[in-house]
């Protein structure tokens, strides 16, 4: 066997190092191909961009399109399972703002898994910004611009169709456990979609979702009760709603005006929001008629 001189051996080692550095650099330049999508809005955008083949897992809120349900589930957006995320060997976690809990995020950071948080927001511009951000991360900016343009046009048509409609007072109820009404106030996704659909939030003066007093419910003068379309233990029937003494005296109770919509469609603020605006606007106008 031929022995290499020290100089030749050094040159060979240096050559290997150069190759390895080139491979690492090449991989660093590659767009992510094993992505965990956390947040239904993000997942919908990835599919709308035609980049779904790069997804290897999703969170519980990612329930649209139906094909996404075939992906491994890594838990609820705010209660992620680090073990579940790491089990799919991702090269990127693409998450909506507020994903967690913090200890889960810390564990993923310690495992050196890159995580990009996409800003939230409930305006039309926020939706377009979210689309462009996801497209840039996936290295398909042209697709992002095309999708943003289509969504912007759809939103404009949907909002224009609500002009001149009766502005009904809408009370969005998140839950009513123990008879306590948890409702949407200012700066919430529910208020934003109600406004876009041509309605008026029946309660205000507080930020976020809070329990209401019976007096506040009565004074809301709600024409329509808006709920997420849930089943099982989380479902609320009309009978349960209007058996509540305060809800029972609202205008909505007199006309039995209740609207139920898919939660992600209504509150996701993603590529389907124009459809949500149209569906909700039509439902509000039909309520009580």
Q: What is the pLDDT along the chain (289 residues), one digit of tens a residue?
A: 445 454 444 444 444 443 343 333 334 457 899 999 999 999 999 999 999 999 999 999 999 999 999 999 999 999 999 999 999 999 999 999 999 999 999 999 999 999 999 999 999 999 999 999 999 999 999 999 999 999 999 999 999 999 988 899 999 999 998 889 999 999 999 999 999 999 999 999 999 999 999 999 999 999 999 999 976 556 788 998 999 999 999 999 999 999 999 999 999 999 999 999 999 999 999 997 6
The domain 169-286 is placed in CATH, from the list 3.40.50.1980, 3.40.390.10, 3.40.50.2300, 3.40.50.620, at 3.40.50.1980
Say what the pLDDT of residue 44 is.
98
Cα atoms in the 13 Å half-sphere on the side-chain side of 283: 21
Q: Quick one: pLDDT at residue 33?
A: 93
The pLDDT value given to residue 231: 64
Per-residue model confidence (pLDDT) at position 1: 42
Q: Alpha-carbon distance 137 to 37, whole Å?
A: 12
Determine the pLDDT at residue 29.
56
Structure tokens at 145: 């611009």
Superfamily of domain 35-159: Nitrogenase molybdenum iron protein domain (3.40.50.1980)
Q: Name the maximum alpha-carbon separation found in the chain.
A: 97
pLDDT of residue 288: 72
Q: What is the pTM of this model?
A: 0.87
Q: Which segments of the chain belong to CATH 3.40.50.1980? A: 35-159, 169-286
């Amino acid at each position: 066997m031929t022995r290499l001189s020290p100089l030749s051996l050094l040159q060979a080692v240096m050559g290997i190092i150069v190759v390895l550095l080139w491979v690492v650099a090449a991989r660093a330049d590659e767009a992510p191909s094993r992505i965990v999508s956390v947040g239904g809005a993000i997942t919908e955008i990835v599919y709308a961009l035609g980049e779904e083949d790069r997804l290897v897992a999703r969170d519980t809120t990612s329930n649209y399109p139906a094909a996404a349900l075939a992906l491994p589930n890594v838990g609820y957006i705010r209660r992620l399972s680090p073990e579940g995320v790491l089990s799919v060997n991702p090269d990127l976690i693409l998450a909506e703002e507020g994903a967690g809990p913090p200890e889960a995020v810390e564990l993923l950071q310690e495992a050196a898994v890159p995580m990009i948080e996409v800003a939230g927001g409930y305006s039309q511009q926020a939706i377009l910004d979210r689309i462009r951000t996801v497209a840039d991360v996936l290295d398909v900016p042209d697709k992002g611009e095309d999708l943003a343009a289509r969504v912007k046009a759809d939103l404009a048509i949907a909002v224009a169709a609500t002009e001149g409609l009766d502005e009904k007072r809408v009370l969005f109820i998140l839950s009513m456990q123990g008879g306590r009404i948890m409702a949407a106030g200012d700066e919430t996704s529910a208020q934003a979609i109600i406004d876009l659909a041509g309605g008026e939030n029946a309660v205000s003066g507080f930020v976020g979702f809070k329990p209401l007093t019976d007096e506040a419910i009565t004074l809301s003068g709600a024409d329509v009760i808006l709920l997420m379309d849930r089943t099982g233990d989380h479902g609320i029937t009309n009978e349960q709603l209007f058996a509540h003494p305060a809800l029972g005296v609202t205008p909505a109770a007199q006309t039995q005006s209740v609207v139920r919509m898919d939660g992600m469609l209504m509150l996701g603020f993603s590529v389907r929001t124009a459809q949500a605006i149209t569906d909700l606007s039509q439902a509000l106008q039909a309520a009580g008629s």
